[in-house]
C-alpha cells in the first residue's frame, strides 16, 4: 500500500499547453524587431505588448503579409491596419533590414553586399543572375567554424552564428535591391537560394531551419523547398535532421575521394570520414533522381584532379547508389592560398570521365571573381595572414571540433 507522501496520479486526458512568451531581443531604442519571427512568435510579441489575443492573431496575419509578401517596413503604409493602431505599432516594434556597408556589382552582373549587424559584425551575401534563374548565396555564420584549406572564408575565426532575422534579412535585402515586391512566383529574378555563404549551416541548425521555414512559407516569400539548397562540409549527425525538418536540396562539399587528401583540404573529414558522409547522403530523406544530391568538387592542380580521382569518384557514387550530380568548381585563388587552379584541359578530362559514367558533371563558370564574390572568396576583412598564422588557426579549429 502506498504511503501518503506518494505523488498524486496524473489525470489522463488532453492538456492545453500554456504558451510561454519567448524572450524577444530588444533593440537599443527599446523596440522589438519583428523581422525573422515565426508566425507564433509574431502573435506572441503583440500579445506581450498587451494586444488582446483575438486582435493579436488578426494583426499578426496582416503584418506577416505586409512584411513578407509586400516587403513593407513602414507601419504607416499598412492600409488595412487602423490609423489608430499604426502609431502604437511604431512605438513598440520595427521591421529592419541589414545595414549595408558596401554594395558591389561585378562585370558579369553578380552583386555582393557587405552587411553589418547591430553588434558590429560583418557578413556577406551574393546574388548571381543567370539567363533562366537568379541565385542568392546566403551566409549562416560570421566567420566559419571550419578550416577547409582551399577556402578564404575558412581562414577566418568563427565570431558567432547569424540569427534567424539576419539570415532572413539577407533575402529581404536582395528582394529590395531587385525591386521584387509584391512577392509573386512568376517573373521574379530571385528564384533560388543556396546556403553556401560564410559558415557551416549545420553548425547553426536551429536558426537556419527556422529562417528557411519563413522563406518557404506560402503566405509570404513562398520560395519552394525545391529551389533551396543547403550545403554542408559533412556534419554527418545533422544531415538526417536537415532532410526531415527542413527538406531542402542537399549539396555536399566533397572535394576529394581519398582519406589522405580530404583530411588535408577538408579537415572535418578526420571527424566524419568519407564512408560515413556518403552513407548519410544515401540515407538523406527525399533524395531521388528528381532531387539529386550535389557534390561540390573544387579542382586543385595536382591535388585532386587526376583521372584516377575521377574514376574513384564514379566508383564511390555507384557503390552507395547515390542519385547525384557533381559540380566541378575551378579553384578561385586568394592571397596566401596553398593551392593552384587546375588547367582547363585537366578539368575537362575529369568532367568527361564522370559524364561517360552516366553522372552529370558540369563545370561551374566562376562568377564575381573581380569583386571577390566567387566560391570560397567570401571574407569580410582584407587582412593578410602568413602561412604560419593560417596553419596555427587551422590547428585551433580542428582541436575545437574534436
* Predicted confidence pLDDT, tens digits, the chain (402 residues): 444 444 444 444 444 344 455 567 788 888 999 999 999 999 999 999 999 999 999 999 999 999 999 999 999 999 999 999 999 999 999 999 999 999 999 888 899 999 999 899 999 999 999 988 999 999 999 988 776 776 776 567 788 999 999 999 999 999 999 999 987 767 789 999 999 999 999 999 999 999 999 999 999 999 999 999 999 999 999 999 999 999 999 999 999 999 999 999 999 999 999 999 999 999 999 899 889 999 999 999 999 999 999 999 999 999 999 999 999 999 988 777 889 999 999 999 999 999 999 999 999 876 656 656 544 444 544 444 454 554 554 555 455 555
Q: Which three cell numbers stand for residue 236?
A: 554527418
In terms of Cβ atoms closer than 10 Å to its own Cβ (0-12, 13-18, 19+), residue 390 is: middle
pTM given for the model: 0.86
Handedness of CA 246, 247, 248, 250 (dihedral sign): positive
Which residue spans within 122-191 are E strands per DSSP? Answer: 122-129, 134-137, 141-142, 160-161
* Helix ranges (DSSP H) in 271-386: 274-282, 307-319, 344-356
Cα-trace Rg, the chain: 24
Residue closest to 321 by CA, chosen among 286, 285, 365, 288: 288
Q: Which residue has the cell 571540433?
A: 401
Q: Which of 185, 208, 210, 181 is nearest to 67 (CA)?
A: 181
Task: State the catalytic residue, choosing from 137, 144, 148, 375.
Answer: 375
Other beta carbons less than 10 A from residue 326's beta carbon: 25
pLDDT at position 202:
97
Whole-angstrom Cα distance, residue 327 to residue 251? 10
C-alpha span between 236 and 279 (Å, rounded): 9
The answer to whether 189 touches 178, Cβ cutoff 8 Å, is: yes
pLDDT at 25 (0 to 100):
74
pLDDT at residue 169, as a whole number: 98
For the record, the C-alpha cell of 349 comes out as 578530362
Q: What angle do CA 323, 329, 335 make, to 5 degrees?
A: 145
Catalytic residue among 124, 166, 200, 296: 124
**Grid coordinates in use for 398?**
580542428
As given in the structure block, the three cell numbers for residue 258 are 581519398
Residue 376: the pLDDT is 47
Confidence (pLDDT) at 215: 97
Whether residue 151 lies in the annotated active site: no
124 catalytic residue (yes or no): yes
Query: Which DSSP letter does residue 152 get?
Result: S
* Dihedral, CA of residue 185, residue 253, residue 275 and residue 143, to nearest 10: -110
Amino acid at each position: 500500500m502506498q504511503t501518503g507522501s506518494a505523488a498524486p496520479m496524473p489525470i489522463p486526458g488532453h492538456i492545453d499547453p500554456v504558451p510561454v512568451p519567448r524572450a524577444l531581443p530588444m533593440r537599443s531604442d527599446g523596440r522589438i524587431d519583428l523581422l525573422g519571427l515565426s508566425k507564433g512568435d509574431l502573435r506572441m510579441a503583440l500579445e506581450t505588448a498587451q494586444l488582446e489575443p483575438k486582435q493579436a492573431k488578426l494583426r499578426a496575419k496582416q503584418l506577416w503579409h505586409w512584411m513578407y509578401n509586400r516587403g513593407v517596413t513602414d507601419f504607416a503604409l499598412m492600409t488595412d491596419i487602423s490609423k489608430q493602431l499604426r502609431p502604437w505599432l511604431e512605438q513598440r516594434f520595427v521591421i529592419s533590414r541589414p545595414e549595408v556597408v558596401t554594395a558591389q556589382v561585378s562585370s558579369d552582373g553578380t552583386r555582393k553586399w557587405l552587411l553589418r549587424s547591430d553588434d558590429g559584425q560583418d557578413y556577406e551575401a551574393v546574388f548571381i543572375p543567370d539567363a533562366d534563374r537568379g541565385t542568392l548565396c546566403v551566409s549562416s555564420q560570421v566567420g566559419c567554424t571550419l578550416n577547409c584549406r582551399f577556402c578564404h572564408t575558412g581562414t577566418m575565426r568563427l565570431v558567432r552564428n547569424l540569427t534567424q532575422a539576419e539570415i532572413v534579412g539577407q533575402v529581404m535585402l536582395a528582394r529590395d535591391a531587385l525591386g521584387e515586391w509584391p512577392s509573386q512566383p512568376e517573373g521574379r529574378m530571385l528564384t533560388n537560394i543556396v546556403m553556401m555563404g560564410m559558415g557551416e549551416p549545420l553548425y547553426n541548425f536551429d536558426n537556419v531551419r527556422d529562417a528557411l521555414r519563413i522563406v518557404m512559407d506560402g503566405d509570404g516569400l513562398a520560395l519552394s523547398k525545391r529551389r533551396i539548397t543547403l550545403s554542408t562540409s559533412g556534419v554527418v549527425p545533422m544531415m538526417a535532421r536537415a532532410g526531415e525538418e527542413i527538406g531542402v536540396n542537399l549539396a555536399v562539399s566533397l572535394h576529394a575521394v581519398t582519406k589522405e587528401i580530404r583530411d588535408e583540404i577538408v579537415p572535418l573529414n578526420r571527424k566524419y570520414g568519407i564512408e560515413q558522409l556518403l552513407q548519410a547522403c544515401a540515407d538523406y530523406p527525399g533524395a531521388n533522381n528528381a532531387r539529386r544530391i550535389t557534390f561540390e568538387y573544387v579542382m586543385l592542380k595536382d591535388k585532386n584532379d587526376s583521372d584516377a580521382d575521377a574514376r574513384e569518384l564514379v566508383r564511390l557514387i555507384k557503390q552507395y547508389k547515390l542519385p547525384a550530380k557533381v559540380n566541378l568548381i575551378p579553384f578561385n585563388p586568394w592571397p596566401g592560398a596553398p593551392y593552384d587552379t587546375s588547367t582547363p584541359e585537366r578539368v575537362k578530362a575529369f568532367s568527361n570521365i564522370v559524364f561517360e559514367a552516366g553522372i552529370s558533371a558540369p563545370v561551374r563558370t566562376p562568377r564575381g571573381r573581380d569583386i571577390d564574390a566567387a566560391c570560397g572568396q567570401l571574407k569580410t576583412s582584407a587582412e593578410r595572414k602568413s602561412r604560419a598564422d593560417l596553419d596555427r588557426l587551422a590547428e585551433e579549429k580542428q582541436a575545437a571540433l574534436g
